[in-house]
Amino acid sequence: MNDVSIQQVAERAGVSTATVSRALAGKQSVSESTRQKVAVAAKELGYVVSATASSLASGRTRSVGIMMPFLDRWFFTTVMAGAHRELTDAGYDVTLYHCEPNRLDDIDGTANVRRAKLFEDSLLRRRVDGLLLVTLSLTATERARLSGLKKPVVGIDRPQPGIPTFAVDNLSVAKAAVGHLLDLGHRDIAYIGGVIPYDLDFQVPVLRRAGYDTAMAEAGIPIRPRWISEAEYTSAGGYDVARKILDDPSDRPTAVFAASDEIAYGVMVAARELGLRVPEDLSIIGIDGHPTGAVLGLTTIDQHPAQQGVVGARALLHELEPDAAHDAVPTKLPFEVIHRQSTAAPRRRT
């Protein structure tokens, strides 16, 4: 408990308690010299402004909500870590909301009781000054609820109507992955795309497939339908699909482009079980920049998820404090090819 009263700070600074309150709240009606006197007095006495009192006076909570569909997956927690660091450095508390994904047959989200309660109850209590959405698909009703809050909302990775969103260029990411394999001399390139079975409007798989198709077409290479498949964004999903694609020794690709690093891990296991050496017999590239990839020697496209969180948080801070000096928000999110041991030039076929 703070034993120092606002009256003591006022006496030390030689001003009224109302002036102390206005000065510590950053009100422009207080002169800079008075603000400095109050700040010095508060620091000398160890006075800490009550968060509750400050919130009541300003209408601000100094808290930001982060909404995510998963709390136990690497990409999401890494994005959150980057955003959390940026927001806490700016003096905000962070409230985490677990927004469970809706099912495909639940268009309005009415069957998802926890999620419905979040939008109908928790958010409407106005506990936060703004919201950061991490890879969320929203129903029209949910967007209306957020709009009704009259608070800044910024998205990461998933475009939403009326919500500023920041995402890597997934078409260019996929083209870079295929381009890496083409530069090594590969022409027989398979593609294992990612799919989320409960998500109707997740555009990342569509864009990454389009990037693969575009890169192959620009290189004048026909696409082999048998070498194209989809898997859940898991190692198990990648393993199951890779076993089918690589099963025929007379019709095997020399390289596999996997839509995520975790899919690529499954491809690596399937290749090993089939007696294929990586990269001598099969090159493999993924997307993400997952830390396990460095241990396994996986070539990947690092999409810097922590930086995505930083950028999203920074954009939200600009909305919350338009007159404050915050770092600039980049218009494009970075990605880069990390070349490791899982890709090499193809062997000549006998």
pLDDT digits (tens, 9 = 90+) for 231-279: 988 999 999 999 999 999 999 999 999 999 999 999 999 999 999 999 9
Q: Residue ranges of the alpha helices (H) in the chain? A: 6-13, 17-24, 32-45, 51-58, 74-89, 113-117, 140-149, 170-184, 204-218, 235-245, 261-273, 292-296, 305-320
The answer, as to whether pTM is greater than 0.85, is: no
Least confident residue range of 58-62, 78-82, 235-239, 307-311: 58-62
Tens-digit pLDDT profile for residues 84-113 = 999 998 888 999 988 887 665 555 555 678
Residue 215 structure tokens? 């890169």
pLDDT-derived band at 56, boundaries 50, 70, 90: very low
Residue 126 CB partners (closer than 8 Å, separation 6+): 61, 149, 151
Report the percent of the chain where pLDDT is more than 90.
Answer: 51
* Residue 187, pLDDT above cutoff 90: yes
* Residue 147, pLDDT above cutoff 70: yes
* Residue 14, pLDDT above cutoff 80: yes
State in Å, rounded, how far the first CA of the chain is from the last one: 79
Tens-digit pLDDT profile for residues 309-325 = 999 999 999 999 887 76
Question: Average pLDDT of 212-239?
Answer: 95
pLDDT-derived band at 298, boundaries 50, 70, 90: very high
Q: Give me the half-sphere count of Cα atoms (radius 13 Å) on the Cβ side of residue 136.
A: 30
Question: Average pLDDT of 54-62?
Answer: 56
Q: Give me the half-sphere count of Cα atoms (radius 13 Å) on the Cβ side of residue 87.
A: 29
Q: What is the pLDDT of residue 2?
A: 52
Reduced DSSP (H G I as helix, E B as strand, rest coil) percent helix, strand, coil of the chain, to 5: 45, 15, 40
Tens-digit pLDDT profile for residues 240-251 = 999 999 999 999
Distance CA 265, CA 50 (A): 50
Distance CA 117, CA 99 (A): 10
* Residue 288, pLDDT above cutoff 80: yes
Tens-digit pLDDT profile for residues 100-146 = 876 655 555 556 788 888 887 777 666 789 999 998 888 888 888 88
Nearest to 130 by CA among 317, 327, 331: 317
